[in-house]
Structure 1
Amino acid sequence: MTFSPTALPFDDIRALMAQLPPAAEECVDLVRARDRELVKPAGALGRMEDIVEWLAAWQGRSQPAVLRPLVAVFAGNHGVAAQGVSAYPQAVTRQMLDTFAAGGAAINQICATFDIGLKVFDLALDLPTADITQEPALDEKAAAATFAFGMEAIAGGTDLLCLGEMGIANTTIAAAIYYALYGGSAQDWVGRGTGVDDAGFARKVSAVERAVALHKAHLSDPLEVMRRLGGREICALAGAIIAARMERIPVILDGYVVTAAAAILHALDPSSIDHCIAGHVSAEGAHAEVLRRLGKKPLLDLGMRLGEGSGAALAVAVVKAALACHNDMATFEQAKVASKPN
């Protein structure tokens, strides 16, 4: 994405949103035709069958494949951490990126187990965004530039994108986004994050309330929600989701924080995240309620709240199994098994 010299940066994002390609329904029809011939009762594999149709629709292929899955983890730091909203210091974000690089994190093990590529992006960790209880997290140009960075980050070829994040205080950021988009009370959307105690939870709720009150006059625009309340990882995740759509790459969303980026896009255009599925439902906060509002039924429910893309990566195993069944099962004719009479 390049900025127009005569337009505001967000105008370029809005123009891009108007160009999103639709699902390839003809490919879905061909997948369904093959499914009817496989040696099983119709519908017997449940959502496994839906997954293959989803891949076909968004890869634009009647024979979908997952040969180069990728987990992209975007990491950012947040000025709101100064409000005492996390149980850990901001230095942990950098330390965890070092752990990813050394192969020692949970996401490294999951990716190795299921043959998934992993890329981790440092989004100016040494320059936290502004404290959203005091001022906007980012200006429009910086937010749009980070969105563009997220779009470019998936270059290099993948056929299934899993999105993850890392950042101390980013569950506070996500809660503020949900509160801004959906209303109710701040406490409806705030969770324990990395495990804050009761006093920390109260500070977190207060920070979300104060941030949304400060920016309230501007929050009818989802892109203003993104730049005023979000962080660099939220902007980059949103950009990656849109780039994947433009390049016909299906997306698996991770948990509570990643879904905040999807929620912003959904608020702009509900169809903009049709190519995304929820890898899992997090134990954090109101993630299940957010997924309900987005119309996303999670593939897994394991009580996880780690982030890092861990739930999305685990869901790749289900996706690969669904494809293997579709591509490699015998047909009734091949197996010489009598099919159901018409």
Structure 2
Amino acid sequence: MTAKYIFTSILALLLIILCSSCENEIPFNKAAKPPRLIMNAFINADSTNNVLLLNLTGSTVISDVTDATVEVRINDALVESPQPIPFPTGDFRDTQKRFRITSKFNPGDKVRIDARTGDGVHHAWAEVTVPQPPLPITQVDTVTIPVNIYDNYYENKLRFRITFADHPGEKNFYRLVLERRACLEATLDGRIPKDTLVMKQNYKIITREDMVLTDGHPSMSDNDNSMFDQPLNIYGIFDDSRISGQTYTMTVYMDTNNLPYLFWSHTLKREWMDCYVRLLSISETDYQYFKALNVIDSDAYDATLMEPLTFASNVHGGVGIVSISTETSVKLNLSDKAYDSYQ
């Protein structure tokens, strides 16, 4: 699992505290008893380094799973019994039980993951069919332009125009992820010079101008009145209802520069910035789950005026979501500068 999926999983765990589950939704239920097993995983089918998170729901906070086993099956055959990742040492103790999944998944595979607690009380499982990957991204154009943030205030942003085609003859759900990696390579000044590499990642994108990402309600600034009627598409999800079987060019923005900073004395050797443009195929359950997260994270939910918010779930015997995505991606080098002197 990549870093962007880990932070989403942690947030998701907090959001489903005090929940009980029906077959397809996780309704908010403050009085949910007894505790239920929480399973969360956002698995990249192309990776052999993914993580499953386990916890128990509680009356006030989520609780730790101290003893559990996990089994991974592909097409009904047991392929892996992941071992728990050791807790970090020191004062900080992660309350999540984490299991590293190293199996390789292929499009069309039927994947089932079972989790059981050692006392035999809890057994939760999820079954997912690995989706076909999106068609290749055919073109990515970038340019730095001023963007209206609010009223007449403008900031320079990096605009991406990403061209791809939708699989014809089927219903598809997608997620667009832009991962920008800003890196510094330096030699620390001291008695024993030491090379170091500092990397800062950024995933935040501005989606408000794109017709598909706003579900037909684009806006030219953050304070456009129309934006109050819908949540921001923070997680870049969309379906193919507006582009079915067609080629489409999607428009999003990112900050232009956000290099990390070294606080200690150093000799700067090189700085560069890459961006990974990733288009993911996801399930309809994933799509509905991230749609609910968009409502929460863009502060568009008002519990006093709106119906109770529910989160899609594919976990049986517990709560949470197990997602497996496939992707197509393009790597862009946005800048690269080498230094021959102290900076």
Flag whether TM exceeds 0.5 (same fold).
no
TM-score (norm 2): 0.27
TM-score (norm 1): 0.27
Give the structure with the higher percent helix.
1
Q: Greater CA radius of gyration, 1 or 2?
A: 2
